[in-house]
Amino acid sequence: MVRYLETRVLALLLVLLLMSVVVFSFLHLTPGDPVDAMLGVEVEQETKQGLRHELGLDRPLLAQYALWMGRALRGDLGTSIRSRQGVSAIIGEKLPITLELTLAASGVGLAIALPAGVLAAVRRSSTLDLGAMGVALGGVSIPSFSLGVMLILLFALHWRIFPAIGYIPWSRDPAGALRHLVLPAITLGLGLAGALTRMVRSGVLEELGREYVRTARAKGLPPSMVITRHVLRNALLPALTVLGVQISVLLGGAVITEQIFAWPGVGQLAVQAVLSRDYPVLQGTILVIAAIATLVQLAVDLAYALMDPRIRLA
């Protein structure tokens, strides 16, 4: 296990380092002068020179990267060129709002995928199975912006059950916060539900054919107990690894979902940064989201290894 942990953490550090190079290069891929791109051409030379110095653009490329990375490691992601606030502070303020959305979406995904996947597997080839797989396919195929707009159209504008857009902190008004959370969480969670349902179904199907299931049935255990006590424990492990990969998809999806529902998280921050060409904010946001996605992936893989001795001891 220690060896497995070592290799995984080393690989992670390498990937994080390479990711930081990719994010760093965004500024330098810009055709022409990045400072012109950020400030426009009509700004005075002195202002431009000031920004160039602040971003370290007047130094050699390697020194620039070392400076940027060194600051980032100390938690300093630079200063927004629009609001002049510290990028780390802005992200720190908005990150919990995004995590709230992704957590709620994971909840929606699991709440749908677990029962749907199990039922589809147990009643294989029935109408129920076909229906669940159809919904799963829809969940995977309908893009979040399309689904979100449709949900607003039906549940907010037509039936007026939920508010169309906006965010309310839990500390201010828990009931309002929940009402505002429902549509974005469903929008983001259905895609996850689609991917997970397929995994749970195939996991349960595979386990149902095993000998221990036959033994459990033969000794007279009720079918529901066979599923919950024996099959699910084994079937859910593969589904867990999918959840790890899906966290990355979820965080990416949050970018669009936040834009649809005017949800003031880091996704919306990234989009505003693109539109206002605020590179420090954009780089910081992408770096933080990508790092979180990678760390969660590692955590999930480690949890998987801990739970499955075949991997732990290999």
CB of 102 to another protein, least distance (A): 11
CB of 219 to another protein, least distance (A): 31
CB of 44 to another protein, least distance (A): 24
CB of 216 to another protein, least distance (A): 25
Residue 269 DSSP symbol: H
Please tell me the number of Cα atoms within 13 Å of 97 on its side-chain side: 24
Taking phi over 0 as left and psi of -120 to 50 as alpha, with beta for the rest, 277 belongs to: left
CB of 39 to another protein, least distance (A): 15
Closest CA to 297 of 252, 246, 250, 255: 246
Mind spelling out the 3-state secondary structure of 166-191?
CCCCCCCCHHHHHHHHHHHHHHHHHH
Answer yes or no: are the C-beta atoms of 20 and 287 closer than 8 Å.
Answer: yes
| Interatomic CA distance for residues 76 and 49, integer angstroms | 21
CB of 117 to another protein, least distance (A): 13
Residue 158 DSSP symbol: I
Residue 86 DSSP symbol: B
Q: What's the one-letter identity of residue 127?
A: T
Q: Give every CB contact of residue 313 below 8 A, 6+ residues apart in sequence.
A: 1
Query: Toward another protein, which CB reaches closer, 104 or 286?
Result: 286
CB of 229 to another protein, least distance (A): 26
φ and ψ at 242, to 5 degrees? Answer: -65, -40
Residues in the chain: 314
Answer yes or no: are the C-beta atoms of 257 and 148 closer than 8 Å.
Answer: yes
Query: Toward another protein, which CB reaches closer, 1 or 150?
Result: 150
- Three-class DSSP category at 277: coil
Query: Toward another protein, which CB reaches closer, 143 or 222?
Result: 143
Can you give the binding site for another protein, defined by CB under 8 A?
11, 14-15, 18-19, 21-23, 25-31, 37, 137-138, 140-143, 145-146, 149-150, 152-153, 157, 202, 248-249, 251-253, 255-256, 259-260, 270-271, 273-275, 277, 279, 282-283, 286, 289-290, 293-294, 297
Query: Toward another protein, which CB reaches closer, 120 or 289?
Result: 289
Query: Toward another protein, which CB reaches closer, 23 or 232?
Result: 23
Query: Toward another protein, which CB reaches closer, 100 or 278?
Result: 278
Query: Toward another protein, which CB reaches closer, 34 or 216?
Result: 34
Query: Toward another protein, which CB reaches closer, 140 or 213?
Result: 140
Angle, vertex CA 250, rays to CA 115 and CA 84, nearest 5: 150
CB of 30 to another protein, least distance (A): 5
Closest CA to 51 of 22, 78, 17, 89: 78
